[in-house]
Chains A and B, each alone.
Chain A
Amino acid sequence: NAGVTQTPKFQVLKTGQSMTLQCAQDMNHNSMYWYRQDPGMGLRLIYYSASEGTTDKGEVPNGYNVSRLNKREFSLRLESAAPSQTSVYFCASSDNPGQGDYGYTFGSGTRLTVV
């Protein structure tokens, strides 16, 4: 099925370890996004990429890096994981932002626990 695929679905890290969350979309969308969702439900934007080759910080970029590897893939890296980064991470993609007639497609999430 077409959509946004995130890997892994679950991960437990020790404090100080690093890891990369992978995201790929097959809808030929231009824009991709990384959010985190903490208990209490709200979404906070970490980074986004409006097009291949560009990335921009969101609300909570500290402790993260991203790579827009190509049009399909947008990865999120935690260089030195901290317990405060325990969260559920969602990737999303969209086409034609700014046209006012579009929506995000979300992946199913990566549940990360840092101990």
Chain B
Amino acid sequence: GNSVTQMEGPVTLSEEAFLTINCTYTATGYPSLFWYVQYPGEGLQLLLKATKADDKGSNKGFEATYRKETTSFHLEKGSVQVSDSAVYFCALLRKGAQKLVFGQGTRLTINP
């Protein structure tokens, strides 16, 4: 079946540190891949996405590259800020499917 596995959290970093949140997937064919962010007390927001192999999604300083050979879509940011503290969800959509498959989420806390 289709599934998404994220690195377990919580992740705690200092401001200006480099961030990587790992995401790997299992799916038939070539799914589209997404990262969503949930700030405290809010719903999820689309952060970035990639629809085919080797595509790079980017937004707000975050990047993720669709790696077909390693079935991965790791989220990275070069210098995190306190305002990046949130829960991050990786997700996939198989071609022809009706709904997203979400990972379990990774809580990120950035300390000043």
Could you tell me if A98 and B95 are in contact, using CB atoms closer than 8 angstroms? Answer: yes
B98 close to A48 (CB less than 8 A): yes
Q: What CA separation (Å) do A102 and B36 show in the bound complex?
A: 13
Max count, chain A CB within 10 A of own CB: residue among B41, B43, B99 = B43
Partner of B43, one of A58, A90, A100: A90
A97 to B97, CA, bound (A): 7
Q: Does A41 make an interface contact (CB < 8 A)?
A: yes
Contact between chains at B32 and A101 (CB < 8 Å): yes
B75 shortest CB reach to chain A, Å: 15
Residues of B within 8 A of A105 (CB): 46
* Range of interface residues on A (Cβ < 8 Å): 20 to 34
Chain A residues with Cβ under 8 A from B20's Cβ? none
* A11-34 contacts to B (CB < 8 Å): 31, 33
- Which residues in A have their C-beta under 8 angstroms from that of B41? 108
Taking residues whose C-beta sits less than 8 angstroms from the other chain, chain B's interface range is: 20 to 34
Contact B105 A98, beta carbon cutoff 8 Å? no
Query: Which residues A74-115 have CB closer than 8 A to chain B?
Result: 90, 92, 97-98, 100-109
CB–CB B98/A31 < 8 A: yes
16 A-B pairs besides A58-B99, A100-B31 with CB distance below 8 A are A31-B98, A41-B87, A43-B89, A43-B105, A48-B99, A56-B98, A90-B43, A98-B97, A98-B98, A100-B32, A103-B34, A104-B44, A105-B46, A106-B45, A107-B43, A109-B42
Query: Hey, what's the 0/1 contact readout for A34-71 against B, CB within 8 Å counting as 1?
Result: 00000011110100101000001010000000000000
